[in-house]
Amino acid sequence: MGIYFDEESRLFFIETKSTTMCLAVTDTEGFLNNVYYGAKIQRDNLRYLLRTGVGPFVPSVNERDRGSYLDCARMEFPSSGVGDYRPSSVTIADCAGHDSSQFLYESHRIYKGKECLYAKLPEGSNVRMPATFDGEGKAETLEITLSDDVLGIKALLSYSVFDDSDAILKSVKLVNDSDSTVIIEKLMSSCLDLDKGVWGEQTPDAVTLSGTWARERRIDRRPLQRGTTEVYSTRGETSHQFQPFMALCDRNTDDATGRIYAQTLIWSGNFICGSSMDQFDNIRSYIGINPEHFKWNLKPGESFQAPEAVLVYTEDGFDGMSHIFHDLFRDHLIRSPYLHKERPVLINNWEATYFDFNTEKLLSIASEAKKCGIEMLVMDDGWFGKRSDDNSSLGDWVVNEDKLPGGLKALSDGLEKMGMKFGIWFEPEMVSPDSDLYLAHPDWAIAVPGRKPCKMRNQYVLDITRSEVRDHVYKCVSDILKSAKISYVKWDMNRQLCDLGSTQFDPESMGRLSYLYTISVYDLQGRLLEEFPDLLLENCSGGGARYDAGMLFYSPQIWCSDDTDAYERLSIQAGTEMLYPLSTMGAHVSASPNHITGRVMPFDVRGAVALSGTFGYELDITKIPEEEREAIPGQVELYHRYGEIVREGDYFRIAREAETVYFDAWMSVLKDKSKALLTYIQCKAYPNGKARVIRLKGLDPDSSYEIKLIGTGEKKTWEAISPGALSGKTLMNAGIIVPLLPGDYAQMMFEISTI
């Protein structure tokens, strides 16, 4: 593992535990080519993979058809306008309006560790960008400097590896060493060219995560065709619609086996992620900032930093891919002190009361919740200004004492007396037209002069790229947190960006707005956690529209979706768990019928599904049926008993309801394989069928395991077919029998532990 450079062959070897990436510098002009990325190999001389001995030859040999080479070589940082007609990594316009560039090898350095990434705000302050970090000396980094001598621009390509991970981290920084301002119109964080020979005769499948509000991150899989397959966001957030993620896999790849090339972006704003297959069936896969609504004037002496990309290669199927992403994010991205701790079981009042609450009602909910073992009350929207619905008061972060006499301190003191923690909801980036803030500062909202602004949820977006706006927002949040004993903040964003105009930018700089908006969010949350280091921060954006690796740098958990219907959550959580650790996923038990779908589901099934994330409740505990209220202490006890397995263990998908129609199943296994938790959900009754065989995963083949039914479920039936102690090898190959359960929506959960 590590990074090596062979002077004689001019080859870079970037090695993880199980993979190798090899970059080559061509002999003459110094093109940087990616000649290999895949399973780990020896550091042999791979220059033959440059194909310089066969047509179309490098330009020094065949200047007559220079473009033929440029249009098919495996470029590591492909430029635009010089003969490579595939999607480029970079487009830069010079002062004469030309947008051609050609970056060639200049130098490199290899060093232990990993440097932080920084962006600069308009007033000149630096903001640390979210990126993986090296906390224990486990990283090694290669920085390759490419140069376009005509433009006078350098591109610093960084590649980092950790000795405990199979991921490769890539980022790009452009530096203007010229005497003229240039315009960056496009900059990808990563580009990966894959030769047709990688796939044999079949082209790969492309796997993405897509959806909409209340249906986030559904798994899409389709064959890659000639042309371009892309997912993207221009909404100022990563979005409900698409996730910054794409995996290319063999047609026969499943959860357990098969080759996968996957990429994601540690970023929370506009992005584009795609794969393009050319006339030779070669594939170029790329990810970075979406060039739409982006333009950056780079002045002499300035630099621009792109977000960090994560590349993963595995031959162990989607489970193997998920484990690499999960471990990387847990070990090298999430910084919260809550990362390895049990999170408090909370109850949120939103679906219980919406805007209709007061101190008395909240304390009555908290009192009943405390009896059931719930540990925190979170007060959602409606506690400030004159807000009795979603048409006013965003920006007026002053407590409404008609609802909350004595303010937040009186409420938090009441909660503390009963032994409950207190959390609160904010939407700091927004402003209502009907608010004191907007009346005083209408120019603080993002808008295009002379154009009718587009309202969403009857609100506008504050221009937090302006330091005075950002400082005002921060002070409002900070003052509220200092006014009472508040342990938790849910930071929401309920609309997207549009009407991209700011009073602080001149016409040439307006294309900075979307990028700097995201950096400003990072600045706000970074400052908040610096002042309140013990705060449990949960990000949210109308549900899961900002569920991305960038936000995990600040919050150890993110609200997965506003749709808490347990059946819908099966698909939402299956997609989310492909990329993100279960401990990051906000998952709550809500009332039935569900507030969004109207679906009626048993309380135990709702609990079993929610137990796969950061567990909590979204309901009025004072109004639910007595039998449901009596079941809550048992669910809370299960969360505490098995929280470590879910939080720290390896996740395995056993079956997806989207494929089986009738059932869904998954399990988490501790790293030492001593204990596992298996969850089985029967979605539909199956007439005249047999009991199902479920083959387990992730166990030690040579250890003996005991299987115990937990929670509710068909206890008598299970006792009749319980297999007793079995080896891990038997459980993974022969499996266990799970009975058909009576009716739609039923569950069984099993503890599997060594004996």
Domain assignment present for residue 632? The answer is: yes
Q: Are residues 478 and 546 in the same domain?
A: yes
Distance between CA atoms of residues 83 and 392, nearest Å: 54
Q: Are residues 139 and 203 in the same domain?
A: yes
Domain assignment present for residue 659? The answer is: yes
Token pair for 419 = 């032994």
Q: Which helix (H) or strand (E) holds 409?
A: helix 407-417
Q: Averaged over 56-62, what is the pLDDT?
A: 82
Calculate what percentage of the chain has a pLDDT beyond 90. 92
The amino acid that residue 203 corresponds to is: T
Say what the pLDDT of residue 1 is.
Answer: 82
As for how many domains the chain has, the answer is: 3
Tell me: the pLDDT tens digits for 348-371?
A: 999 999 999 999 999 999 999 999
Q: Averaged over 138-153, what is the pLDDT?
A: 97
Q: Are residues 321 and 381 in the same domain?
A: no
Q: Are residues 266 and 354 in the same domain?
A: no
Boundary of a domain, candidates 332, 357, 378: 332
Tell me: the pLDDT tens digits for 432-485?
A: 999 999 999 999 999 999 999 999 999 999 999 999 999 999 999 999 999 999
Sign of CA dihedral 526, 532, 536, 540: negative
Residue holding tokens 């949960």?
A: 538
Q: Are residues 465 and 569 in the same domain?
A: yes
Phi, psi values for residue 565, rounded to 5°: -60, 120
Distance between CA atoms of residues 490 and 541, nearest Å: 10
Phi, psi values for residue 637, rounded to 5°: -65, -40
The domain spanning residue 524 has which CATH number? 3.20.20.70
Strand partners, 184: 92, 296
How remote is the C-alpha of 310 from its chain's centroid?
A: 11
Domain assignment present for residue 606? The answer is: yes
Boundary of a domain, candidates 332, 361, 382: 332
Token pair for 396 = 């007026």
pLDDT bin (cut points 50, 70, 90) of residue 533 is very high
Domain assignment present for residue 51? The answer is: no
Residue holding tokens 């301190």?
A: 409
Say what the pLDDT of residue 713 is.
Answer: 62
Q: Which helix (H) or strand (E) holds 463?
A: none
70, pLDDT greater than 80: yes
23, pLDDT greater than 90: yes
Token pair for 755 = 């004996």
Q: Are residues 354 and 320 in the same domain?
A: no
Say what the pLDDT of residue 60 is.
Answer: 79
Distance between CA atoms of residues 279 and 273, nearest Å: 20
CB 17 within 8 A of CB 140: no
Q: Are residues 448 and 521 in the same domain?
A: yes
Q: Are residues 658 and 630 in the same domain?
A: no
Boundary of a domain, candidates 306, 332, 358: 332
Distance between CA atoms of residues 116 and 126, nearest Å: 11
Distance between CA atoms of residues 422 and 440, nearest Å: 32
The domain spanning residue 276 has which CATH number? 2.70.98.60
Instruction: Give this prediction's pTM.
Output: 0.97
Phi, psi values for residue 118, rounded to 5°: -135, 145
Enumerate the active-site residues.
548, 628
Distance between CA atoms of residues 143 and 98, nearest Å: 28
pLDDT bin (cut points 50, 70, 90) of residue 654 is very high
Say what the pLDDT of residue 712 is.
Answer: 61
Q: Are residues 705 and 665 in the same domain?
A: yes
Domain assignment present for residue 54? The answer is: no
Distance between CA atoms of residues 225 and 183, nearest Å: 33
Q: Are residues 384 and 483 in the same domain?
A: yes
Domain that holds residue 228: 99-332
CB 614 within 8 A of CB 343: yes
Domain assignment present for residue 616? The answer is: yes
715, pLDDT greater than 80: no
List, in sequence order, every beta strand (DSSP E) within 53-152: 90-93, 104-112, 118-120, 126-128, 139-148
Q: Averaged over 547-567, what is the pLDDT?
A: 98
The amino acid that residue 570 corresponds to is: L
CB 229 within 8 A of CB 207: no
Alpha-carbon separation of residue 664 from 568, 571, 579, 661, 680 (angstroms)? 12, 9, 18, 8, 6
What one-character-per-residue DSSP string does 571-585 give?
HHHHHHHHHS-GGGE
How remote is the C-alpha of 31 from its chain's centroid?
A: 33
